[in-house]
């Protein structure tokens, strides 16, 4: 007698042709066709005129040649069409969505709709009414809406509501219904069933890395070079939803896996791509933002050692940047410096880095025995004490050392081995201006900081930092000298900040106390530095670099919002932390910590190991 063993049935996703429906009750095949058709018509509408006058930025009056915001809508329409075809199972196209295309087409259609309707509304508001729209503007509004309706009609697994307590009040029942509705909306954008991607040969993976880096350089160059406010807002909308669509499709996860297998190649390629940035600019206007972003990113990476690896909450870290900047400016030949000396750059760098390191040890030695909020309050106090002290060393309230609120001005440009950083130079037919010269210098310093971070993070002391961060009591019980380990982290982080400060002093010409506030509208300051580390991903290299770039670029471009700038920026951060609490580029441990046990495998699978 034999016993037949049957495997338990597992729920499967509905077939492609099944009449499953999404939010609007439209059958799935109809929704896919509507999304694909709406995407195609949206692309076609970008080749029509959207307004009759060139007064709206970007000149959207030309037929047959998209410009300005039309280009962004065109890209969104192409993504929507491709993901809709992949969701329909079209051969050759479905490979672009290895994790399923249903969620990706929803996000792509939403980004296209948001960008198109923002443009139409901006034209109407700035030019004085809907009468200023040409047929192309009306068509793109209808087609993008149709694509979004079709995308939201794709099937999704509707979550079962929790039972309602019959004794609940009316307010509690209403809150329960709202919570269930929110879960339903989240399920509508959930990822589809994953499809494994075939392994690629090494040469193909290297080619993929080149494409990724080229795409990253193109997106960054386009974002930093947006010449008017409406174009940058549209760029934020499309870039945000477009990245989310690629993420849901599984492309970001596979890209992460490929770059993870070739870390050294990816890192070297990233620096090469960054070095090409000044050659994409015709003048120093946007190269200026580039060098400030590198300074901010380098300091954020140094703070990542303190916060991300060692777990020490430092709210006054910008003071170490100021110590390095003041030390370098005092010995670099400034006419307002009380010291009549002009050291070469290598000596000024050493003085700035060592001065910050000494201050890090002096501040850390008596305070690092504190933990948590107490340590944060002490470091916040140190940052304010530094700024107030620098403001008082003016010869009246104290010794004449920092020239008070006027600061150290007229810091001369660097001259290294006869290369004047303040003069333009011709390289391969391209004219490289002052800020481009400093951009290359900061790129070298960033490479040094990245090398220090990688080596220290993978060393014995780096493992001790992580142990202290996770559980200091357990680490102490295992024989780790907690105070010494934390002091080393504090000193190394301070030294790296001082290194960047020496370059900042020469780039800005002037070093003043107001540059080193705890919080402000424009970074670098301690609040933005900490936000860059948390937003980008604590304990990683790419995370703080990307987070710092976003946190410097976005406030700089959103200055037209005036008093509402920080409000809009704060709302964006809240939303990002709600949907991406582990950061943009999280490490493996963070992905596990910020997701439930049931979601951990999916979180690891979609973002790579």
pLDDT of 108 reads 92
- Cα–Cα distance between 180 and 183 in angstroms, integer? 5
Cβ-contact 153, 22 below 8 angstroms: yes
> What is the full DSSP assignment across 167-216?
T--HHHHHHHHHHHHHHHHHHHT------PPPPPPHHHHHHHHHHHHHHH
3-state secondary structure 356-380: HHHHHHHHHHHHCCCCHHHHHHHHH
Pairwise CA distance, residues 24 & 11, whole Å: 24
Q: Look at residues 528, 540, 533, 539 and name the one whose alpha carbon lies nearest to residue 570.
A: 528
Question: Do the beta carbons of residue 60 and residue 25 sit within 8 Å?
Answer: no
CA distance 14 to 193: 11
pLDDT along the chain (609 residues), means of 10: 42 43 70 90 93 88 90 93 86 78 89 94 90 91 92 67 56 54 50 52 85 89 84 90 88 84 87 86 76 88 86 84 89 82 87 90 82 81 86 77 82 81 75 82 89 85 85 84 86 89 87 78 74 82 85 79 74 77 70 52 45
Separation between Cα atoms, residue 538 and residue 588, nearest integer Å:
11
- Bridge partners, 408 (sequence order): 511
**Where does 318-410 have alpha helices with state H?**
318-330, 345-367, 372-392
Is the link from the previous residue into 341 a cis peptide, with omega within 30 of 0? no
Residue 320: exposure state from Cβ atoms within 10 A (0-12, 13-18, ≥19): buried
Q: Are 306 and 489 contacting, i.e. CB atoms less than 8 angstroms apart?
A: yes
Helix ranges restricted to H, 67-201 = 69-88, 102-127, 135-152, 170-188
Burial class of residue 409 (count of CB atoms within 10 Å of its CB; 0-12, 13-18, 19+):
middle
Q: What is the pLDDT of residue 129?
A: 87
CA-to-CA distance for 297 and 533, rounded, in angstroms? Answer: 9
CA angle 66, 68, 72 (to 5 degrees): 80
DSSP 160: P
- 107 near 241, Cβ under 8 Å? yes
**Beta bridge pairs of residue 51:** 133
256 CB contacts (<8 Å, ≥6 apart)? 607, 608
Pinpoint the residues of the chain covered by CATH 1.10.3470.
283-607
Q: What predicted TM-score, i.e. pTM, was given to this entire model? A: 0.79
Provide the CB-side half-sphere exposure for 543 (13 A, CA).
30
**How many CB atoms lie under 10 A from the CB of residue 263?**
11
What secondary structure does DSSP assign to 418-469, as a single string? TEETTS-EEETTEEE-HHHHHHHHHHHHHHHHHHHHHHHHTSHHHHHHHHHH
Q: How far apart are CA 65 and CA 72, in angstroms?
A: 13
Nearest Cα to Cα of residue 294 among 316, 308, 267, 275: 275
pLDDT of residue 278: 84
- Beta carbons within 10 angstroms of residue 247's beta carbon: 21
Model confidence over 466-502: pLDDT tens digits?
A: 888 888 888 888 888 888 888 888 888 889 988 888 9
The pLDDT of residue 75: 94
pLDDT value of residue 162: 52
Instruction: Check if the beta carbon of residue 591 is closer than 8 Å to that of residue 538.
Output: no
- The helix (H) or strand (E) run that includes residue 93 is none
Using alpha carbons only, give the angle 459, 461, 462 rounded to the nearest 5 degrees: 65
* pLDDT at site 93: 79
- Tokens for 52, please give them: 């009759």
Predicted pLDDT of residue 79: 93
Asked if residues 555 and 523 have their Cβ atoms less than 8 Å apart, the reply is: yes
Q: Which two structure tokens, joined as six digits, stand for 319?
A: 């003071």
- Taking CA atoms, 490 is separated from 254, 307, 359, 482, in Å, by 36, 10, 10, 12
Pick the CATH number of 283-607 from 1.10.8, 1.20.950, 1.25.40, 1.10.3470: 1.10.3470
Distance CA 402, CA 511 (A): 9
Q: Residue 176: CB partners within 8 Å, gap ≥ 6? A: 161, 162, 164, 168
Looking at residue 593, its pLDDT comes to: 56
* pLDDT tens digits for range 192-225: 444 445 667 888 888 988 999 899 888 888 888 8
């Amino acid at each position: 007698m034999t016993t037949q063993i049957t495997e338990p049935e597992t729920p499967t996703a509905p077939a492609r042709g099944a009449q499953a429906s999404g939010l609007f009750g439209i059958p799935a095949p109809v929704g896919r066709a509507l999304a694909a058709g709406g995407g195609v018509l949206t692309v076609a509408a970008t080749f029509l005129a959207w307004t009759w006058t060139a007064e709206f930025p970007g000149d959207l009056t030309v037929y047959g040649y998209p410009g300005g915001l039309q280009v962004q809508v065109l890209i969104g329409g192409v993504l929507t069409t491709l993901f809709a075809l992949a969701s329909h199972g079209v051969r050759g196209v479905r490979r672009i969505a290895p994790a399923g295309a249903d969620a990706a087409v929803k996000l792509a259609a939403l980004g296209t709709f948001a960008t198109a309707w923002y443009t139409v509304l901006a034209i109407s508001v700035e030019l004085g009414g809907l009468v200023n729209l040409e047929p192309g503007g009306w068509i793109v509004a209808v087609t993008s809406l149709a694509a979004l309706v079709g995308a939201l009609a794709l099937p999704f697994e509707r979550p079962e509501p929790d039972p309602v307590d019959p004794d609940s009040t009316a307010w509690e029942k209403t809150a329960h219904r709202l919570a269930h509705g929110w879960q339903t909306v989240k399920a509508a954008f959930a990822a589809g069933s994953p499809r494994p991607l075939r392994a690629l040969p090494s040469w193909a993976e290297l080619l993929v890395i080149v494409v990724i880096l080229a795409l990253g350089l193109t997106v960054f160059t386009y974002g930093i070079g947006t010449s008017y406010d409406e174009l940058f807002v549209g760029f934020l909308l499309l870039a945000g939803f477009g990245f989310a669509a690629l993420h849901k499709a599984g492309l970001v996860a596979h890209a992460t896996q490929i770059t993870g297998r070739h870390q050294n190649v990816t890192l070297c390629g990233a620096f090469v791509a960054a070095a090409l940035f000044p050659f994409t600019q015709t003048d120093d206007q946007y190269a200026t933002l580039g060098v400030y972003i590198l300074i901010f990113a380098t300091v954020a990476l140094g703070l990542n050692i303190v916060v991300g690896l060692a777990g020490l909450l430092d709210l006054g870290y910008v003071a170490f940047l100021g110590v390095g900047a003041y030390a370098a400016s005092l010995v670099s030949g400034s006419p307002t410096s009380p010291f009549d000396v002009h050291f070469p750059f290598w000596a000024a760098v050493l003085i700035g880095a060592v001065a910050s390191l000494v201050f890090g040890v002096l501040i850390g030695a008596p305070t690092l025995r504190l933990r948590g909020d107490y340590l944060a309050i002490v470091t916040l106090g140190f940052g304010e004490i530094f700024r107030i002290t620098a403001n008082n060393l003016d010869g009246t309230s104290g010794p004449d050392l920092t020239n008070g609120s006027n600061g150290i001005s007229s810091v001369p440009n660097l001259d290294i081995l006869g290369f004047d950083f303040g003069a333009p130079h011709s390289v391969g037919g391209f004219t490289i201006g002052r800020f481009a010269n400093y951009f290359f210098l900061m790129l070298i310093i960033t490479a040094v900081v990245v090398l220090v971070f990688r080596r220290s993070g993978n060393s014995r002391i780096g493992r001790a930092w992580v142990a202290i961060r996770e559980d200091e009591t357990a680490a102490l019980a295992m024989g780790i000298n907690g105070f010494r380990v934390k002091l080393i982290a504090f000193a190394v982080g301070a030294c790296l900040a001082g290194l960047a400060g020496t370059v900042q002093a020469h780039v800005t010409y002037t070093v003043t106390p107001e540059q080193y506030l705890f919080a402000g509208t424009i970074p670098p300051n301690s609040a933005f530095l900490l936000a860059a580390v948390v937003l980008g991903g604590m304990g990683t290299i790419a995370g703080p670099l990307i987070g710092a770039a976003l946190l410097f670029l976005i406030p700089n471009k959103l200055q037209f919002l005036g008093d509402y700038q920080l409000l809009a920026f704060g709302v964006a951060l809240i939303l990002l932390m709600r949907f991406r609490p582990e950061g943009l580029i999280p490490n493996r441990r963070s992905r596990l910590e910020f997701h439930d046990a049931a979601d951990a495998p999916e979180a690891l699978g979609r973002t790579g190991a």
